[in-house]
Amino acid sequence: MRRTQIARTLAATTGLAAVAILGVAAPAQAADRDGTCDSGEFCYYYNSNNAGSISDFGEGVSVSDYGTSQPTCYDFKGPGNGQHECIKNNAASVWNHSTRTVRVYFNSGYAGSYQDVAPGYKGNLNATLYNQNASHQFVNAYTNMSYALYQLSVGRITCGFDGYVNTPGRHEGIDIARSIGSPVRALVSGQVINIVRGANGSGGLSTIAIYNATYDKTIIYLHSAPLSSLSVGQSISVGQQIATEAWRGVSSSSSAHTHIEMRLGRQQLAAKSVGDPQLDNPDPTSFWNARGYKIA
């Protein structure tokens, strides 16, 4: 690790591991490699919180190995801290200014641990990929919402938003299930504005409310167990773990799941769904698609 990396603000402790090098690709010669994060581009930043020099890539430009030395490496082009440094294992934050999901990999050759960066996401890489990035790939336009919630396989939609049409109880959110104890991760960044910890069983509903000022939306997570470290006022990044799956407010452990609800404006609680004749939440499909998620 370079000495200058030590001075950066880390969102979480990063693990250090050897990065496999599978061969250096020649840097792109397109005009979009100009150190400015234009619309349609995927961009790395040298520092946390989208600060420092920028390295930008045009939409659809996947790179299997960034290289480790000049003049052949992909480097930071923009002015600021880190300019002309190779981006391999040096990027702290990203902005996906494109319309497609970008997968950032720990290893070269699109291998190893990875983080899916949804369209529009602007923030720090997660703890595994922070300053440990070796390749990126534009993937399908959408990431399955059930996968993104846990970043593990097997998650499934058990009940969708129905707009007060079919589901008994006026369901205004989306229920996703995997298994008790599975990590529950934030699907949208924002600030925690309410936590109700609850308890397992029908009388112990839990709530996590995360408000995103950019979208003026609140994402409500019900039934899962909030992490003990989670606190009101805390800033949350996409993919950051906020809870573990549980059955708080659910009558049976076999029905453990996480209820996810998109609400307009700043809201501390989910919409009432039982015996309520008023539809409070709009169909969230377009909102989730715009964040890079397919409801599946």
* 296 residues of the chain, pLDDT tens digit each: 343 443 343 333 333 333 332 333 333 333 468 999 998 899 999 999 999 999 999 877 889 899 999 888 999 999 999 999 999 999 999 999 987 889 999 999 888 899 989 888 999 999 999 999 999 988 765 678 998 899 887 899 999 998 777 766 678 999 999 999 999 999 998 999 999 999 999 999 999 999 999 889 999 999 999 999 999 999 998 889 999 999 999 999 999 999 999 999 999 999 987 777 788 999 999 888 877 788 98
What pLDDT is attached to residue 214?
A: 85
Q: Which residues contact 146 (CB under 8 A, 6 or more apart)?
A: 155, 156, 157, 176, 178, 296
Residue ranges, comma separated, of all CATH 2.70.70.10 domains in the chain are: 146-294
Give percent helix, percent strand, percent coil of the chain, each to the nearest 5: 5, 30, 60
Q: Is the pTM of this model over 0.85?
A: no
Residue with tokens 């002309």: 84
Q: How far apart are CA 211 and CA 42, in angstroms?
A: 25
Q: How far apart are CA 88 and CA 45, in angstroms?
A: 12
What pLDDT is attached to residue 170?
A: 76
What pLDDT is attached to residue 169?
A: 66
Residue 146, both tokens: 């059930």
Residue with tokens 């708080």: 248
Q: Are 82 and 46 in contact (CB under 8 A)?
A: yes
Chain-centre distance for alpha carbon 11: 14
**CATH superfamily of the domain spanning 146-294:** Glucose Permease (Domain IIA) (2.70.70.10)
DSSP state, residue 231: -
Q: Are 147 and 295 in contact (CB under 8 A)?
A: no
Q: Are 116 and 139 in contact (CB under 8 A)?
A: yes
What pLDDT is attached to residue 18?
A: 30
What pLDDT is attached to residue 133?
A: 96
Of 88, 145, 75, 79, the residue nearest 290 (C-alpha): 145
Of 113, 63, 122, 45, the residue nearest 291 (C-alpha): 122
What pLDDT is attached to residue 296?
A: 83
Q: How far apart are CA 271 and CA 52, in angstroms?
A: 41
DSSP state, residue 176: E
Structural Rg of the chain based on CA atoms: 20
Residue ranges, comma separated, of all CATH 2.60.20.10 domains in the chain are: 1-141
Domain 1-141's class?
A: mainly beta
